[in-house]
């Protein structure tokens, strides 16, 4: 039996195609009324698109909130735009928060492949079925971007999209780099670091390593970790490897803190650095997301672990309904 029973490698390599298809899903969909805040409610891989949307909208005057809970925040009302995101359409927490958003008269768009959410919501963007939620990131992110562009909340330039799509086409390069890094992470517990601005991408790396490679991984952000976690390196050893995600647009003081902390870390653990690529924010975001997906895949294969199934999570869900 092959280790990659559901051909996760093909799914990862098809990610650029997924992004192109996802960009078409929001065509003609907009919100005509005024929006005062944006909430993305979801769990796991379905919430990650919201985390990335928050990065992309960092300069927006409209607040963006990612909700991972059974209820919506109290500020949600009829001037809120809620994206209810559940790949399966049956996520318990998301269905509950959707009901809460409906009671608060929020404007709701569901992004799902079907399930109860598709039946309950009046405005639905349907995405293709058959993937693990974490592998459907393009389908779950770009429709939200499209709706906000159509609504006039943001303006996404074709040149920025094209740069990202062109960069992602070189899957073999990302695969090779990911494979190389996975060798250095074999048998190690990774700790992923990034600036606060890209902290959600460090979190994505962590969760992909958890679900694909089935090993513990952790993450933190600069410069918050300078005020607590760095002290813990006194008790660290070579069982851990730190991976620092760096971006050319990181604040100069953040860059300095990364340099200083790297020296401190290297006294006790191995340290690897990876860099975003491209000019536009979309290219820089997705270049490092894509690399992380390959890293987690090859970590799984090196450990003779099937990257697709998540038996512990599925077993937990079964126990919850007993």
| Radius of gyration, CA atoms only, the chain | 20
CA distances, 73 to each of 68, 98, 206 (Å): 10, 12, 26
Residue 109 carries which DSSP code? E
CA separation for the pair 124, 102 (Å, rounded) = 14
Given the residues 54, 104, 188, 211, the one annotated as active site: 211
CA separation for the pair 51, 29 (Å, rounded) = 21
User: What are the start-end ranges of the H helices in 135-251?
Assistant: 137-151, 158-168, 171-185, 199-208
Whose tokens are 């293709």? That residue is 128
Is 196 a known active-site residue? Answer: no
Lookup: tokens for 314: 């599925």
User: Over the range 35-69, which residues count as b (16 or more CB within 10 Å of their CB) and which as e?
Assistant: bebbbbbbbbbbbbbbbbbbbbbeeeeeebbbbbe
Is 227 a known active-site residue? Answer: yes
CA separation for the pair 288, 277 (Å, rounded) = 8
Given the residues 10, 34, 61, 227, the one annotated as active site: 227
Return the H-helix or E-strand segment holding 255: helix 252-266
The values of phi and psi at residue 279, to 5°, are -100, -55
Q: Report the residue count for the chain.
A: 322
CA separation for the pair 28, 150 (Å, rounded) = 7
In 3D, which of 9, 12, 92 has the Cα closest to residue 44?
Answer: 92
In 3D, which of 271, 59, 10, 286 has the Cα closest to residue 161?
Answer: 286
Given the residues 17, 58, 184, 317, the one annotated as active site: 317
CA separation for the pair 21, 197 (Å, rounded) = 27
Is 157 a known active-site residue? Answer: no
Residues with active-site annotation: 211, 227, 317
């Amino acid at each position: 039996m092959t280790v990659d029973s559901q051909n996760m490698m093909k799914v990862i390599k098809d990610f650029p195609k997924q992004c192109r298809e996802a960009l078409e899903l929001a065509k003609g969909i907009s919100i005509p009324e005024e929006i005062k805040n944006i909430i993305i409610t979801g769990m796991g891989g379905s919430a990650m698109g919201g985390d990335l949307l928050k990065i992309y909208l960092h300069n927006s005057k409209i607040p963006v909130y990612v909700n991972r809970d059974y209820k919506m925040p109290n500020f949600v009302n009829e001037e809120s735009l809620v994206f209810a995101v559940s790949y399966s359409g049956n996520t318990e927490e998301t269905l509950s928060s959707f009901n809460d958003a409906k009671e608060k008269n929020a404007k709701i768009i569901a992004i799902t492949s079907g399930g109860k959410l598709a039946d309950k919501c009046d405005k639905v963007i349907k995405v293709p079925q058959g993937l693990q939620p974490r592998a459907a990131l393009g389908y779950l992110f770009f429709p939200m971007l499209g709706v906000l562009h159509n609504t006039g909340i943001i303006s996404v330039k074709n040149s920025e999209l094209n740069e990202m799509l062109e960069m992602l086409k070189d899957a073999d390069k990302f695969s090779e780099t990911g494979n190389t890094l996975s060798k250095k992470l074999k048998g190690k517990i990774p700790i992923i670091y990034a600036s606060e601005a890209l902290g959600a991408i460090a979190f994505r790396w962590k969760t992909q390593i958890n679900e694909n490679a089935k090993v513990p991984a952790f993450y933190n952000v600069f410069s918050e970790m300078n005020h607590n976690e760095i002290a813990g390196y006194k008790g660290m050893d070579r069982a851990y490897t730190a991976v620092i995600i760096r971006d050319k647009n990181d604040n100069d003081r953040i860059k300095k803190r990364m340099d200083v902390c790297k020296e401190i870390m290297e006294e006790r653990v191995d340290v690897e650095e990876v860099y975003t690529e491209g000019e536009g924010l979309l290219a820089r975001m997705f270049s490092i997301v894509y690399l992380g997906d390959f890293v987690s895949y090859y970590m799984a294969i090196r450990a003779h672990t099937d990257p697709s199934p998540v038996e512990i999570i599925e077993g937990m869900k079964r126990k919850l309904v007993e």
